[in-house]
Chain A
Amino acid sequence: MIRFLTKGLLRDRSRSLFPVVIITITVGIVIFTIGFMKGTMNSVFLDTAVIISGHEKVVTRAYKEESQMLPNDLALLDVDQIIENLNNEYPTHFWSPRITFGGLLDIPDNNGETKDQGPVIAMGIDLLSNETRMPEIWGLEKCLVEGRLPKTSKEVLISKKLANKLNISVGDLTTFIGTTMHNAFTTYNFLVAGTFDLRKGQADKQMMLVDISGARKALDMENAASEIFGFTHSLFYNDDKAVSVRTNYNNSYSDTSDIFSPVMLALRDSSEQMETMVDMVDVFLLIIGGVFLIIVTIVLWNMGLMNGLRRHGEFGLRLAIGESKGDVYRSMILESLIIGFTGTILGTGIGLMLTYYVQEYGIDYSEVVSSMSTSSMVMPNIFYAQITPELYYIGFIPGVIATVLGAMLSGLAIYKREMAQLFKELEI
């Protein structure tokens, strides 16, 4: 009998192919939409995290109060020890020091006279150590416009915008003019290894990137850092975990009476805007995702129902010929299970592939975004999707459960109604 029914199922495309296609498409859309929403939200978070706040960051209490002024005289000391503690106690994150410093960048001409000069915001990040993930999370390879990444502490990357403004080209020698962490005047020469464009609006307007060792030499900050950034290994921001790490750290390490004691800030603590955003995103995702899932579930439920109803005549006939109600019902449920699973697996595969593609390559919105960017929240120009674990199973809710429930419900008629009635439905 199974052979007989399978034959029928394969031949009747309105029972096999079309439902599978519909389930595949809807499940694919669900997966991709949820992956895209999650990824977009996370890439907004990640961009802000990379440039401004980390998923967590550690600074001194005093630095936190004045952070807009980049007060490196209030920097963290004995940074290696702090990072070792962080790595041991919070292995869910990786921790990396950074020196953020401002000053003037001077471009000399052939005679050593100033050719061009302008303000620069420099970031000393870990570009050169073996295990560093900074080039990866900054996306430096992709952002590079000309030249190459720095290979020594003396080499820097200059943002394309700044390079254009100051007429800097790759290979130029530039002089940084600023103050050390001890508030002494300093000049330091950097070689321009390359230019980059973060493609995140105006965020990199005056930006220069240098390895932290170079920054330490320039500012006389041996084993010191403005901030220590922490990121989850997956780069996915989970606010609940971030808050609990931050609270836990501050309880054990932060001394409110000592302005030089370290304090940890979660991404949400970086600005009021960010805080609101973090709070809203979860609710927002839940609502959108929920509504979407419900709609799709109803659609597929309905399809399961209609497919069942359409076949009341066939069921009536099979019952008349002497198949038992249980067998007819079971074969119908089995059929919808097969259809549901096939469609869901295909749909999940396609959805994940699309999500993966957009996770790797993104969708570019450069034009729209550059006008919306602010200094406390970085808007990405490219939206990325994100494959999260729930994408692997969430499609089964509409794809299998709804389809099968729809079939089950419509099939109940087999039990409820007299068989004679099932025929009438066929004839009308």
Chain B
Amino acid sequence: MENNTVISIQNLIKRFPVGSEFFTALKDITLDLHKGEFTGLVGPSGSGKTTLLNIIGGLDSPTEGKVRVLNQPLNNTNHNERARLRRKYMGFIFQSYNLLPVYTVFENVELPLILNKMNKEDRIQKVNQAIEWVGLTNKRNSKPNMLSGGECQRTAIARALVHDPVLVMADEPTANLDAENSHNIMKILTKLNKELDTSFVFATHDEKIMGYLKRIIRLEDGNIVDDKKIKKENI
């Protein structure tokens, strides 16, 4: 395994029990993701994008095969260790934002830092910085129900990035957004990818995202059917 490998997957199989049968959502996936990559998992609905993303993030467990994330084999770590990995090194962005409605933008973004037991002054500084990245400084005390969809997703991005994760996973982050907001979001993410050297993995079938990706892994029916790197120097 190369030193800058963030994720290493070998012969991953995922089966879901459906009634008395099993449904195989991922069939023999082998894959490496590297530091700083801006990768998209693309493919038709039901091809297994979300499932793969969840397994990488330790939100779901593999049926067979080896998954190493940040040099930790996920197969034989318990959920407390996986929680620690996520808390320290990962960030998540979801299609449906998943903001906590009773908290303000500031507080939602602050949560990962509280879990990491960062002291208050550092926290305030980091949160303010993250909110500034996504351009929500003037909304920091608003609750999610007062925000537009794009603002919600930007809050979620700030939350995913506030603790300087190594790896950010985003499942359909633009599916609920219009074209302008989608491009906005992708520009922010691209910029952060460059500045922070954070690795991003997207699951998407949104054509608007494709243009920003540096690596596209195409899934079909639980198999990788294509994996290509795209040279783009000046986005």
Q: Which residues of A does B touch, CB under 8 Å? A: 1, 4, 7-8, 11-12, 313-314, 316-326, 418-420, 423, 426-427
Contact A317 B98 (CB under 8 A): yes
Contact B111 A418 (CB under 8 A): no
Closest CB of chain B to A340's CB: distance in Å?
A: 20
Q: Does B139 contact A (CB under 8 A)?
A: no
Question: Could you name 16 residue pairs across A and B whose Cβ atoms are closer than 8 Å?
Answer: A8-B103, A316-B98, A317-B100, A319-B59, A321-B112, A321-B159, A322-B84, A322-B85, A322-B86, A322-B88, A323-B87, A323-B115, A324-B83, A418-B60, A420-B50, A423-B94
Q: Name B79's contact: one of A1, A4, A11, A324 (CB within 8 Å).
A: A324
Residue of A nearest to B165 (CB): A322
Contact B60 A12 (CB under 8 A): no
> Residues of B contacting A314 with CB < 8 Å?
100
Secondary structure type dominating chain B contacts: helix
Expressed in whole angstroms, the Cα–Cα distance for A316 and B92 within the complex equals 12
Contact B88 A418 (CB under 8 A): no
Expressed in whole angstroms, the Cα–Cα distance for A320 and B85 within the complex equals 10
Residues A322 and B83 in contact in the complex (CB < 8 Å), given A418-B61, A420-B54: yes
Additional A-B contacts beyond A313-B98, A322-B112, A323-B87 (15; CB < 8 A): A8-B100, A11-B103, A12-B101, A317-B98, A320-B59, A320-B98, A321-B112, A321-B159, A322-B86, A324-B80, A324-B84, A325-B80, A420-B51, A423-B94, A426-B98
Q: Name A321's contact: one of B50, B60, B107, B115 (CB within 8 Å).
A: B115
Contact B94 A4 (CB under 8 A): no
Closest 9 CB pairs of A and B: A322-B87, A322-B86, A419-B59, A420-B54, A11-B102, A420-B60, A324-B83, A12-B102, A317-B98
> Residues of A contacting B88 with CB < 8 Å?
322
Closest CB of chain A to B235's CB: distance in Å?
A: 29
Contact B83 A319 (CB under 8 A): yes
> Residues of B contacting A313 with CB < 8 Å?
98
Expressed in whole angstroms, the Cα–Cα distance for A220 and B61 within the complex equals 98
Q: Does B222 contact A (CB under 8 A)?
A: no
Q: Does B114 contact A (CB under 8 A)?
A: yes
Contact B61 A322 (CB under 8 A): no
Contact A320 B80 (CB under 8 A): no
Expressed in whole angstroms, the Cα–Cα distance for A324 and B103 within the complex equals 20
> Residues of A contacting B85 with CB < 8 Å?
322
Closest CB of chain B to A422's CB: distance in Å?
A: 9
Residues A321 and B86 in contact in the complex (CB < 8 Å), given A1-B114, A8-B103, A423-B98: yes
Q: Does B90 contact A (CB under 8 A)?
A: yes
> Residues of B contacting A426 with CB < 8 Å?
96, 98
Contact B100 A320 (CB under 8 A): no
Expressed in whole angstroms, the Cα–Cα distance for A321 and B54 within the complex equals 13
Closest CB of chain A to B154's CB: distance in Å?
A: 17
> Residues of A contacting B90 with CB < 8 Å?
322
Q: Name A8's contact: one of B60, B98, B102 (CB within 8 Å).
A: B102
Q: Does B57 contact A (CB under 8 A)?
A: yes
Contact B115 A1 (CB under 8 A): yes
Residue of B nearest to A311 (CB): B100
Residue of A nearest to B169 (CB): A320
> Residues of A contacting B114 with CB < 8 Å?
1, 4
Max count, chain B CB within 10 A of own CB: residue among A8, A11, A324, A325: A324
Contact B115 A420 (CB under 8 A): no
Expressed in whole angstroms, the Cα–Cα distance for A4 and B83 within the complex equals 19
Expressed in whole angstroms, the Cα–Cα distance for A423 and B59 within the complex equals 10
Expressed in whole angstroms, the Cα–Cα distance for A319 and B98 within the complex equals 12
Closest CB of chain B to A147's CB: distance in Å?
A: 67
Expressed in whole angstroms, the Cα–Cα distance for A314 and B111 within the complex equals 12
Q: Name A326's contact: one of B51, B80, B92, B107 (CB within 8 Å).
A: B80
Expressed in whole angstroms, the Cα–Cα distance for A316 and B59 within the complex equals 9
> Residues of A contacting B59 with CB < 8 Å?
319-320, 418-420, 423
- Which residues of chain B (119-177) have a CB below 8 Å from chain A? 159
> Residues of A contacting B84 with CB < 8 Å?
322, 324
Expressed in whole angstroms, the Cα–Cα distance for A7 and B92 within the complex equals 24
Residue of B nearest to A322 (CB): B87
Expressed in whole angstroms, the Cα–Cα distance for A323 and B163 within the complex equals 14
Contact B102 A323 (CB under 8 A): no
Closest CB of chain B to A218's CB: distance in Å?
A: 79
Expressed in whole angstroms, the Cα–Cα distance for A323 and B90 within the complex equals 12
> Residues of A contacting B159 with CB < 8 Å?
321
Residue of A nearest to B81 (CB): A324
Closest CB of chain A to B224's CB: distance in Å?
A: 20
Residue of B nearest to A323 (CB): B115
Expressed in whole angstroms, the Cα–Cα distance for A319 and B61 within the complex equals 14
Residue of B nearest to A419 (CB): B59
> Residues of A contacting B61 with CB < 8 Å?
418
Closest CB of chain A to B234's CB: distance in Å?
A: 34
Contact A321 B87 (CB under 8 A): yes
Closest CB of chain A to B17's CB: distance in Å?
A: 11
Contact A320 B86 (CB under 8 A): yes
Closest CB of chain A to B161's CB: distance in Å?
A: 12
> Residues of B contacting A322 with CB < 8 Å?
83-88, 90, 112, 115-116
Contact B92 A321 (CB under 8 A): yes
> Residues of B contacting A319 with CB < 8 Å?
59, 83
Expressed in whole angstroms, the Cα–Cα distance for A420 and B53 within the complex equals 10
> Residues of A contacting B101 with CB < 8 Å?
12
Expressed in whole angstroms, the Cα–Cα distance for A353 and B103 within the complex equals 38
Expressed in whole angstroms, the Cα–Cα distance for A419 and B83 within the complex equals 11
> Residues of B contacting A420 with CB < 8 Å?
50-51, 54, 59-60
Expressed in whole angstroms, the Cα–Cα distance for A94 and B154 within the complex equals 78
Max count, chain A CB within 10 A of own CB: residue among B94, B102, B114: B102
Closest CB of chain B to A280's CB: distance in Å?
A: 52
